Chain A
Amino acid sequence: MQPTRIQKLFEFVRQKNRSALIAYVTAGDPSPDRTPEIVASLVRGGVDLIELGVPFSDPIADGPVIQRAAARALQAGTTVPKVLDMARAIRKNSETPLLLFTYLNPVLRYGLDKLARDAQAAGIDGCLLTDVSVEEAEPYVAAMRAASLDTVFLAAPTSTDRRLKLVAQYSTGFVYLVSRTGVTGEQAALSESLAPLIDKMRVATKLPLAAGFGISTPEQAGVVAKIADGVVVGSAIVRQIEKDPGGLESLARSLAERMKK
C-alpha cells in the first residue's frame, strides 16, 4: 500500500532528526471561508500537519477555549460537507497532511463509508474520533481502511498495558498520546505522566508517537519534541485565532523552532 501523507511526514522528520509540529484548528472558526487562510498561515510558520476539527455540539473532551471555538464554528454554519470543502480548498496549493479530528456523531450521521470516501477525495489523510474507543472501532476502522485513510487513536496516562497494545493495533500513521488526564487546554506546567507514557508506548509499537493536550508554549513544545515524534498544539492556536489570526504565523514559527531533537 502507498504510504499516506501522514506516514511520509513522520519518515521525513525522522530523517531530519526533528519532531513534527501538529496544529489543531476548529474548522469553520471564526467562519468557514477563513479556515483555508488560517491553515495556510500555520503552514507558512512551519506547521507540518493540521488537525482539522469538525465542531460538535457537546465536546466532552474539550476545555473552554476549544468549546468556544466549536460554538463559533457551529454558529457560522459549519457542517461536515463544509469541512470537506475547506479541505479541498487547502489541497489546491498545499500537500500538508490533514487529519480530521472530531466526535463520532457528526460522522455517523454523515455515514461512515460515505465520509471515508468523500474525505479521501477531498484530500484528507486520516481521522481521529475522540469518543470512539478501540472496542467500538471496528466499523469505523473498516470504512477508513477501505478508503486508505489513517486511523489515529488516543492513548492516555490511565491506559493499561493491555489497552496500549490495542490502541497501537488499531492506529495507523501515528498514535496520539494524551499527555495528562484532562480535557484540552493550556497548562502552566507539562504533565509528569507524559514521559512514562511514551516509554510504555514505545514497547507496544514502532508507530510514531505524537503528544498533545496541555502543550502551549514554545518551551513546553521543545521539551516534548525531544521525547516524542510529534507535538500537538491546540488550545494555544485556537486562542490566537480567537484573539488575532494575524499572529498565527509567528506563533507557529516560535513553536516550529523548537522541534529539533
Chain B
Amino acid sequence: MITSQPDSTGHFGPYGGRFVPEVLMAPLEELEQAYRAATADPPFQAELTDLLTHYAGRPTPLYYARRLSETLGGAKIYLKREDLLHTGAHKINNCLGQALLARRMGKKRIIAETGAGQHGVATATVCALFGLECVVYMGEEDMRRQRLNVFRMRLLGATVVSVSNGSRTLKDAISEAMRDWVTNVHSTHYLLGSALGAHPYPQMVRDFHRVIGEETRAEVLKREGRLPDSLFACVGGGSNAIGMFHAFIGDENVKLIGIEAGGRSLQLGEHAARFAGGAPGVLHGAKSYLLQDADGQAALTHSVSAGLDYVLIGPEHAWLHDRGRAEYTSCSDADALAAAKKLARTEGIIPALESAHAVHEAIRRAPTEPGKLYVVNLSGRGDKDTDIYRENFPELDAAGV
C-alpha cells in the first residue's frame, strides 16, 4: 500500500527537510517534540476534538450537489463543506491544533502570515479564544484585495502588519513572519497556515487537517457504499488538499486531483501553478517545486485568489506528484470566477475564490464521466471575496444602482 509519511528528518522523498537559519533549528526540534508528545496525549486530543466539534462545527456536511451534477449530466458531485466551519474556511482546524500546542509549550505570543486573510482570521480567532497575543503579517496587495478580513482580524484583537516588500503578497508575508520568529523565538509560536515550511510544519499542519479526508471517507462509504472516484482540492500551500487526500492515499483507485492557480496565463509571473513552470528549489524552510527564474530568485506570482498566490507548493504534494499518486492541474482566474458563479446559481453556495478553482475542474470533467463519484473540497466560503466578485461581475453590481 502506498503511504506518505516524512522520514525522521522531515523529508518526503527528496522534498521537505529543514532549511532555516541555525537560530530556528533548536526551536524546531522543540516544536517537533512537543507535537509528538501532544499527539500521544489523550487529554490534548480530547480537548482538540471537543473544540473542533463544539466551537468550529465539525463534522462538516458532505453535501450532494444534485442540481450542479444534473446540470452537467455526468459525474455525481459531492461537496465537503469546510466553508461552513466557524470563520469560514478549513484553516480553523489547524489553528485550533497549533494554538493548543502553543499553550502547552508556554508560548504567549502568536505570529502568522496570511494571504486571503482566512488563516489570519482563524489565527486571530483562536488567539482571542485562548487569550494569546496575535500579530498577523499580510502583504499590502492582499490587504487591499481582502479588506474585509483585515477588519475582521482587527475586530478580533489582532495586530495586522502590512508587508510592502517584493510582490506584497503571501511570499513576502511569510518572509516577514520568519524574521519576526527568528527575533522573538523564545516567546513566540509561529502559527504557520499551510502545509509548508520546515519540518515538522508540513506534517503537523497536514495532520490537523486530516480530519477532512477521514470524515469524507467514512461519510461517502456510508452514503454510497463505496469510495469516490476522484477528489478535487485547490492547492495554495497545500493544506486543504493534503487534509482531504491523506486518508485516501492508500486507496489507489481514488484519483487525487490538486488544482493550482493558473492566473492570467501560464507565463512565469502570471500564475501560481508550481507544477506548470516551477522546478525543485528551497524557500521558507523546505525543498519543493518553486516558481523561480534562471538565477534561482523566487518569481513573482499572480492569482485572482490571494490564498493560492504563492511560489512554492507544500513538499508532500511535490512527492505525491513525482510518484504519480496525485495529479495536478491549474485553473485560470476567469474559469475560477465562472465556476463560482455557476455554483452560486445552481446550489446557492458562493465559494471562496480558492475553492472555486477546484469546483471548476470538477465541472470540466463531470460531463465526460457519468456514473463516477466526485468529492470537491469546498475549502472556504466566498464572503471575503465579495469585492473581487463585484469587480469582476460589474453587470450585477450596476444592476442595483
Q: Which residues of A contact B (CB under 8 A)?
A: 56-63, 67, 71, 74, 79-80, 103-110, 130-133, 135-136, 153-160, 163, 167, 178, 181-183
A156 and B183 in contact (CB under 8 A), knowing A60-B284, A105-B282? no
For residues 145 through 188 of chain B, which have their beta carbon under 8 Å from a beta carbon of chain A?
Answer: 165-166, 171-172, 175, 178-179, 182-186
Query: Would A104 and B185 count as touching, CB distance under 8 A?
Result: no
Query: Would B165 and A67 count as touching, CB distance under 8 A?
Result: yes
Does B26 have its Cβ within 8 Å of any Cβ on chain A?
Answer: yes
Q: Which residues of B contact A (CB under 8 A)?
A: 9, 17-27, 29, 165-166, 171-172, 175, 178-179, 182-186, 281-285, 290, 292, 294-298
A133 and B20 in contact (CB under 8 A), knowing A181-B186, A183-B183? yes
Query: Would A183 and B182 count as touching, CB distance under 8 A?
Result: yes
Query: What's the Cα separation between A163 and B178 when bound, in Å?
Result: 21
Query: Would A182 and B183 count as touching, CB distance under 8 A?
Result: yes
A181 and B182 in contact (CB under 8 A), knowing A79-B295, A109-B281, A158-B27? yes
Query: Would B296 and A133 count as touching, CB distance under 8 A?
Result: no
- B182: A residues at CB distance < 8 A: 60-61, 181-183
Query: What's the Cα separation between A62 and B20 when bound, in Å?
Result: 13
Q: Nearest-CB distance from A143 to chain B (Å)? A: 15
- B281: A residues at CB distance < 8 A: 105, 108-109
Task: For A181, give its contact among B185, B283, B290, B297 (CB under 8 Å).
Answer: B185
> Which chain B residue lies CB-closest to A62?
B179
Q: A61-B182, A79-B295 are in contact. List 10 more A-B contacts (CB 8 A).
A: A58-B284, A58-B298, A80-B295, A105-B296, A131-B19, A158-B23, A159-B26, A163-B25, A178-B23, A183-B183
Query: Would A61 and B21 count as touching, CB distance under 8 A?
Result: yes
- B17: A residues at CB distance < 8 A: 135-136
- A178: B residues at CB distance < 8 A: 21-23
A-B contact pairs, 10 of them (CB 8 A): A56-B297, A61-B179, A62-B179, A63-B179, A74-B297, A109-B292, A131-B19, A133-B22, A135-B17, A156-B23
Q: Nearest-CB distance from B112 to chain A (Å)? A: 16
| 8 interchain residue pairs of minimum CB distance | A109-B296, A106-B296, A156-B23, A57-B297, A154-B22, A182-B183, A60-B178, A57-B298
Q: Nearest-CB distance from A185 to chain B (Å)? A: 10
Query: Would A132 and B19 count as touching, CB distance under 8 A?
Result: yes
Query: Would B25 and A133 count as touching, CB distance under 8 A?
Result: yes
Q: Nearest-CB distance from B182 to chain A (Å)? A: 6
Query: What's the Cα separation between A63 and B165 when bound, in Å?
Result: 12
Q: Nearest-CB distance from B26 to chain A (Å)? A: 5
Query: Would A158 and B185 count as touching, CB distance under 8 A?
Result: yes
- A103: B residues at CB distance < 8 A: 282
Task: For B166, give its contact among A58, A136, A153 (CB under 8 Å).
Answer: A58
Query: What's the Cα separation between A89 and B31 when bound, in Å?
Result: 46
Query: What's the Cα separation between A61 and B298 when bound, in Å?
Result: 16
